[in-house]
Structure formats: C-alpha cells, structure tokens
Amino acid sequence: MTETTKNNKNAHTKPIPERENLPEHYKWRLEDLFETIEDWGKAISELENLIKQMESYKGKIKESPKKLLECLNLADEIGQKSDRILVYAHMKSHEDTRKAEAQSNAYKATALFVQAQKACSFITPEILQMGEEKINQYIKSEKGLAIYDFFLKDILRRRAHTLGASEEYLLAGAGEIAQGPENIFSSLTNADIEFPPVTDSSGETIPLSEERFSTFLTSKDRTLRKNAFCALFSTYGKYKNTLSATYNSAIRGTLFFARARKFNSTLEASLFNDAIPLSVYHQLISHVNDHLEYLHEYVSLKKKALNLEKIHMYDMYVNIAEEPYEDIPFEEAQKIVLEALRPLGKEYLRLVEEGFSSRWIDVYENKGKRGGAYCWGCYGAHPYVLLNYNGKLKDVFTLAHEMGHAIHQAYTNSTQPYVYSGHSIFVAEVASIVNEILLNLALTQKASTKEEKKYFLHVMTEQIRTTVFRQTLFAEFELAVHQMSQRGEIPSHETFCSLWMDLNKKYYGQNIELDPILSFEWSRIPHFYSPFYVYQYATGFAAALNIVNLIVAEGEKAQKAYIQFLKSGKSDYPINLLKKVGIDMVNGKPVKETMEFFSEKLKKLEELLNSK
C-alpha cells in the first residue's frame, strides 16, 4: 500500500454535502435497473398484468405436469419483476430519505411486492395437496420441471408448517403490515432523529451523525469519543418509549407468524426456512460463553495498552497503535482490496474490477442518505453496494466486505436459475467475511514496523470481538426478549435496558466501566427488526476463517471449491453447501477454533506490547 496524504483538517469538520454536489462517478447507476421513473411505472403495469394471469392457475396445477411448469415459470417471472421494482424504489429512497415522493414510491413498491406474493400464495398449498408421489411422477414426465426438483422437495419438507390456500393468502397480505415496525424505525432513525454537534479536545464543534459516530469511536481523541458516545446514546434515550413500542411490535409480529405456522418458537420459525438446526444457535452462545475469559483478557490488555486508569465502552473501538494510513482516497481503497483478493483467482478479480468501473457503488455520505452499508440487487442485473465512505481503513474493510456480497450475488445470478438465485444470510456473510480476513492477512504481511504489526493484529482481534463476541451478545439478547414475548410478556424499555447491561457485564467482565447510558444501545440496532439475523455474523466469521485457512493451506483446490460455493445460491441448504467446502457448522468445531484463534492472536499482541 502506498501512503496517502494526511489532511491537516479532519474530514468530519466539513459539512455533510447535498447529493447533487457529489460527482456522478461516485454514485451508483440505478439507470441500469430503470432508465427513468416512467419506465419503473411501466414495469408496475406489466407486473399487475402478470399477477392477473396467475389467477387462472388457481386449482389447476394438479391437472398436468405442463400446467405446473407454466405456473412455476410465471411465478418466477412475477418474482423477478417484483424484485426489480422493489429494489429500485427502495435504493432510490435511500439516496435521500427526506424526499417524500421517493419514500412514497418505496411504500408503493412494498405493497405491490406483497400483492405479488399473495397472488402466488396458493402454489405451495396446492403442491402439498398433490403429495410426494405425484410430484415425483410429474418431475419424471416433464423435463422442464427438473430444474425445480430441489424447490419442490423443499416445499414438501415444509408440509407441517404450511397452511391452506386461503390462510396462506391472508398471511401473505399481512406481510405489508408486518414491515411497519421496521419502516417506522428506519424513518425515525434515518430521517427524523437529529444528533447534537459534539466538541473535540481542542474545543472545535463537529457535526454528529450515525455514520460519523462509528468513525469518532476510533479516534485517538478521547474527548471526542466520549462526547460522541454520550450525545448519540442520550439522543436515543429520548426516544426510548417510541423505540421500545416499535421493537415490541416487531417481536409480536414475529410471534404471530410463528404461531400461525405451528412452530414451537420464533427461533425455530426463523431457522426452519434454511433448515438450520436449533443446536447451531444454542451452541454458538454456549461456546462463546465458555470462552468469555478471552474477552475479559482482551479488555485488560487494551486498558493496559491505552494506558487508562478506567476503560469505557467508547475506548474499546480505538486501535492500540497508530493508524498507518489516513484519508485514503476511494481509488486507493479499490487498489488495496484488489491486491488483497488475489488468492481468490483472476475470474474473481475481474468481477471486482467490473464493479468498481461500472458504478455498482454509491460511495459517499450525503444529507438524508441511509446510514450504514449494504449490498442489494435483483436477478438479471448487476448487484449494487451502498457505502458511506470516510477514508479510514475501516471503510476499506467495509468495501471489501460489501464486494464479497456483490461478487457472491454476481456469481450466483450468472450460474443459477432465478428459483435458486438468492442466498441464505447464513452463507451470505461467509462471502463477505472471507474478503475481510484476506484483506487483514495481506495488510499484515506488508507491515514492516512493530507499530504496523500491532495495528493490524488489533484489527483482527477487534473484528472477532465485534463480529463474534458482540454479535453473539446480540443473539443472546434477542433470544431472551423473544422468549419473554412467547411467555406473554411485553418488555418495557426498562427491561430492555436492564437486560442489555447485564449481558454487557457478563461479556466484558469487571475491568470495564459500563456507563449507564450504554443501556440504550439496543434501541439503535436495525438488524433486530430481522429476527435472529445477527447470530449469522458470528457463525459466518467462524466459517469464513476456516475457509481462508483451507485456501492458504491447499491453494487452488480450496479456491475452486470456494468459487463453486459462491455459484451455488440456494440450490441446497446452507449447512450442506458449507460441508462441500469442508466446513461442518453442526459440530461446533469452527466456532471453537475461532475462539482458540482469538486466544493465539491475543498472545501475539501481548508479546508485541511487552517487547522493546
């Protein structure tokens, strides 16, 4: 990596720009989905006609293999069009969440997406009525149905949790209502909540946003870290009743759907779709809890390295060494990522370069832009990546992470039919974290000084803290509050706050000072509105670490197996896809090995700190 120029003035003292003031080549090209909003409107009309056509297949698919095939093909066409309409509208609204028309279009697209699901909701119940023997006969007699073999057999697996056609229609219609809590949370936290400016150690006033908060927490300026921490969490605390009610609504909605489908718990309902054994979730929490002394050691080591009498949560994110490079231009970040991903092969690198040069990425923060980072897209079009790039090394890691998702999607969409084009989150996070680990390895190998080695070693240990320990804490919190709901309780904000603090005390131990204001942190976690999502970051890291180890040890053989994994989409269950790469998540071994890997890195970090 070549060293970049350091700006005298911190980039975060600058005002957040309006979107129109950003250069076009730093904005994603949504025109690749629809050239104009009028074209989007025409697609809606086309979709509405297809939905009407679907009506003619109700009660008819059992008549012949040909009818079933025609119906499934039409369902795929409806799915592709509704996906594209939805993705475009929501990504357009994310460009500036203040724009009412864009928000209205996003809601309209969601409503139409639900309508499309309702139109197709009779298919599964009717297939189940046909039974396994008849389905197998149809597959044998109609060549076109061969492509749907796994899809049809998975429907049969769901028999016990699938309702009749009329009930499925009602549940599909309730989907729009069920998205209400998440939509409210998003609007409140992205568009309505305003954070007060904060001051740094020199007394300079700096604007605060969710995006800037994460960067401020890594600042060497402890005054800035503390003030940002207090300002952000105290602001969320002002909305504690609203956010508590919103989250409770989301939890109750999840419980409604779980009970409607005759699941014993919301956890079982969430894991059932991808055939993830419940033991995987519980083992993760158990294995991490068994190794919490490693996290306690890490807190003590960090406290010592930072030379602090007391260490607070706002100190946990700052690196114990000086960042080797600052204010990294986005073009430089692209070069760094490409170099790091060489072990994945020329074909993989070519796809990454295409993403960089073809405006797949929306790079910089602007006023009203949705916070965070994500990769999204639809079948038949290239993937898209939303960033809020700030020029820090952590932003380079975010770029590598999201491009992992993007290339996973690109590989799958070019290989699989639409019916298997999606990804379970369980395996999607593997693709992104493999890239992060490879980036860390590449930067560590280039490190020439003790300070640089300390820095990148800390990056790895910190990634395990935040991706494995922290996300498992989230998973334990989530399990507890859903269990409360199943018992008929409606947790108050006091309950949420108390549980959050208890878990943080358990995970981080006695050597950290937990400020009372930390208790509001649960209220700002968007992933809680996707139930039992976050544990997959931890399992994904464990799987990814083991895959990287295989690629390093076996070279081309493991690389090819991994690329095949990226091309597999939903053609098999996630647990089986990982087994084909040599990773068994059911026995818990990858999580245990991750814990030991963390311990080894801690020892190396301590050796560096103690060496002269």
Q: Is 362 helix (H, G, I), strand (E, B) or coil?
A: strand
> How many Cβ atoms from other residues are within 10 Å of residue 497's Cβ?
22
Per annotation, catalytic residue among 182, 210, 211, 402: 402
Please, which residues have CB within 8 angstroms of residue 3's CB and are 6 or more apart in sequence? 324, 325
> How many Cβ atoms from other residues are within 10 Å of residue 453's Cβ?
16
> CA-CA distance, 61 to 400, in Å (whole number)?
45
402 in catalytic set:
yes
**Whole-angstrom distance between the N-terminal and C-terminal Cα of the chain?**
26
Task: Work out the angle at residue 112's Cα, subtended by the Cα atoms of residues 106 and 113, and round it to the nearest 5 degrees.
Answer: 85
Cβ atoms 240, 523 nearer than 8 A? yes
Burial per residue of 324-350, b for 16 or more beta-carbon CB atoms within 10 angstroms, e otherwise: bbbebebebbbebbeebbebbeeebbe
Cross-strand partners of 374:
386
Cβ atoms 124, 168 nearer than 8 A? yes
Q: Tell me the three-class secondary structure of 293-340, residue by residue.
A: HHHHHHHHHHHHHCCCCCEEHHHCCCCCCCCCCCCCCHHHHHHHHHHH
> CA-CA distance, 223 to 228, in Å (whole number)?
8
Task: Identify the CA nearest to 78 among candidates 130, 118, 40, 107.
Answer: 118
Please, which residues have CB within 8 angstroms of residue 349's CB and are 6 or more apart in sequence? 338, 341, 342
As annotated, the active-site residues are 402
